[in-house]
């Protein structure tokens, strides 16, 4: 623990800054540390090796998408560059924690964190294989200078159709120290909308699962700092998030056991993280308990949220102009990034 504190002393000296002009104007004598936490759907980050235990045939050199080693390497380069840029406008050291989805296995994350654009951050990996039929999982990357894991586990999301379990992604739960703050992170990739209205209940099940974990943590400590992040396949105004997670959009009206969702106001203003049939959705969210939003609590608290939608991540031409610039359009290789924009939040602590 002493070594962690020493490393953070060095980090503080290099990263202390005034958050912005508005905050400085309130009290120009205050100084803060700032960290960023994000989530990114990496859109089918598969390797080129045939895994006989999953359905990865389309992402093989001989598959429908001609997924060659060259394309895989380009995908890694692209994903790493995006990650290198998220949040650095204010948190110069880059993301401290990043939840990810649509990854085939641990190996693709190992290849990702070694990419030159982020290698110096020394991102560490938390990952479990999920029972998803396509083999896609969720995971967590963290900078060990900023975050120290205490415990982690995969929590099965049990969904049944006519008595038969539907295999889907587990929820990844991670507890750890974020600069000596105990935080809890739930990384999600809830079931898709493919299949029609019945799938609403599947996503509600994901929300209920997360809510159960949150309630158990708040029962022990009402000020627990919990983040629910992921590709939820629902918008901030949908039942899963409003009724089951009990998330509100007004930070001043978060109940003791409720949650704050900064992405609801963004969505109502027409912003999104993914697009379909000329309509924006905002599936990629980071939702937090009152312990994170309370400025009177010790340690870090919420400052602001963003969608990372820089111009280079936007499809420049063609049928999908203005959409996220993705890797494939159907089976046609686009050499882009992902069909989702990343989401991220800033946390600050007065020093």
The DSSP line for 215-250 is HHHHHH-TT-EEEEEEE-SS-TTSHIIIIIS-EES-
Residue 3: which residues within 8 A CB-CB, separation 6 or more? none
193 assigned to some structural domain: yes
Quick check: 18 pLDDT over 90? Answer: no
What integer pLDDT is reported at residue 12 of this predicted model? Answer: 45
Contact (CB, 8 A) for 261 and 249: yes
**Number of folded domains in the chain?**
1
The average pLDDT across 175-182 equals: 97
pLDDT category, 174, cuts 50, 70, 90? very high
Q: How big, in percent rounded to 5, are the helix, strand and coil portions of the chain?
A: 25, 30, 40
Quick check: 189 pLDDT over 70? Answer: yes
316 assigned to some structural domain: yes
207-232 pLDDT tens trace: 999 999 999 999 999 999 999 999 99
30 assigned to some structural domain: no
Residue numbers of the domain that contains 83? 36-350
The average pLDDT across 1-20 equals: 44
250-300 pLDDT tens trace: 999 999 999 999 999 999 999 999 999 889 999 999 999 999 999 988 899
Residue in this structure with the two tokens 């200078």, named with its chain if needed: 145
Quick check: 128 pLDDT over 90? Answer: yes
271 or 160: whose pLDDT is higher? Answer: 271
275 assigned to some structural domain: yes
User: Based on the number of CB atoms within 10 Å of its own CB, is 311 exposed (0-12), middle (13-18) or buried (19 or more)?
Assistant: exposed
Residue 239: which residues within 8 A CB-CB, separation 6 or more? 200, 204
87 assigned to some structural domain: yes
pLDDT averaged over the chain? Answer: 92
pTM confidence score: 0.91
What integer pLDDT is reported at residue 24 of this predicted model? Answer: 45
Enumerate the β-bridge partners of residue 350: 32
85-100 pLDDT tens trace: 999 999 999 999 999 9
29 assigned to some structural domain: no
1 assigned to some structural domain: no
Give the CATH number, domain containing residue 134. 3.60.10.10
Quick check: 19 pLDDT over 80? Answer: no
27 assigned to some structural domain: no
């Amino acid at each position: 623990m002493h070594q962690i504190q020493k490393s953070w002393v060095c980090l503080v000296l290099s990263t202390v800054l005034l958050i912005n002009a508005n905050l400085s104007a309130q009290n120009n004598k205050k100084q803060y540390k700032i960290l960023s936490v994000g989530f990114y759907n990496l859109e089918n980050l598969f390797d080129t090796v045939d895994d006989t235990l999953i359905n990865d045939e389309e992402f093989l050199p001989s598959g429908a998408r001609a997924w060659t080693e060259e394309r895989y390497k380009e995908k890694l380069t692209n994903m790493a560059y995006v990650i290198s840029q998220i949040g650095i406008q204010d948190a110069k050291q880059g993301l401290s924690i990043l939840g990810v989805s649509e990854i085939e296995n641990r190996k693709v994350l190992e290849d990702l964190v070694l990419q030159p654009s982020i290698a110096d951050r020394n991102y560490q990996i938390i990952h479990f294989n999920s029972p998803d039929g396509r083999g896609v999982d969720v995971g967590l990357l963290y900078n060990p200078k900023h975050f120290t894991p205490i415990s982690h586990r995969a929590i099965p999301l049990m969904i049944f159709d006519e008595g038969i379990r539907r295999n889907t992604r587990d929820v990844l739960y991670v507890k750890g120290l974020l600069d000596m703050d105990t935080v809890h992170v739930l990384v999600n990739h809830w079931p898709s909308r493919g299949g029609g209205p019945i799938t609403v209940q599947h996503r509600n099940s994901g929300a209920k699962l997360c809510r159960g974990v949150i309630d158990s943590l708040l029962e022990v400590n009402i000020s627990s700092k919990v983040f629910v992040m992921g590709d939820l396949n629902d918008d901030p105004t949908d039942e899963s998030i409003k009724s089951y997670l009990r998330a509100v959009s007004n930070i001043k009206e978060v109940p003791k056991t409720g949650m704050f969702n900064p992405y609801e106001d963004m969505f109502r203003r027409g912003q999104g993280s993914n697009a379909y049939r000329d309509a924006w959705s905002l599936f990629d969210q980071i939702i937090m308990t009152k312990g994170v939003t309370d400025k009177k609590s010790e340690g870090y608290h919420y400052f602001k949220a963003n969608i990372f939608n820089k111009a280079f991540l936007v499809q420049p031409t063609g049928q999908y102009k203005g959409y996220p610039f993705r890797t494939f359009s159907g089976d046609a290789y686009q050499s882009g990034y992902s069909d989702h924009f990343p989401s991220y939040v800033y946390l600050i602590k007065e020093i």
